[in-house]
Amino acid sequence: MELTDEFELEHYRYLIARIAATNDNTIKIISAFSAAATLIVSGLVTLGLTYKQLGLGAEQALVYAEVLLVLLGTSCVFAILVMVINGIAWFEYRVEETRLLRAHGFKRQPPTLRSIPKWIETYLALILVVGTLTILVIAASLLLPNIK
């Protein structure tokens, strides 16, 4: 085996490891957002139900509730941004992987942007947006008006 073959094999192993890492990072981001969203919504509901017992006025409780809603929205945007950056890295690693494989006679095609609807990350991002918007609408229409 020549030095270039060994180098290319190591480079291929590196690419496969990075592709696996980007897949793992997506799951970690979803898990972190899920935990954060659960805590924020729990805090929001607790605040809405117990602000008087906590000795807070209605105006103060509304401000805290709005801060929690902004935090939830910001967390969603951050999670999606990280997923997009992660997806770009994955795409670039896959293009490099297929280039390397094709140079050695394999017939694997590089990914295209037309395949985005097939990516699970597309639907995970959609679920994050729809879920966050649903929580924001429910909080704005049911919880916030009841803080008086």
| 3 vs 39, more confident | 39
The alpha carbon of residue 13 and the mean position of all alpha carbons in its chain are separated, in whole angstroms, by 26
State how far the Cα of 43 lies from the Cα of 49, in Å rounded to an integer.
10
pLDDT tens figures, 97-110? 999 989 888 888 89
pLDDT tens figures, 36-47? 999 999 999 999
Inter-residue contact 90 to 82 (CB < 8 Å): no
Mean pLDDT of the chain: 92
Looking at the predicted structure, is the pLDDT value of residue 1 above 50? Answer: no
Q: For a pLDDT cut of 90, what percent of the chain falls above it?
A: 81
pLDDT tens figures, 110-145? 999 899 999 889 999 999 999 999 999 999 999 999
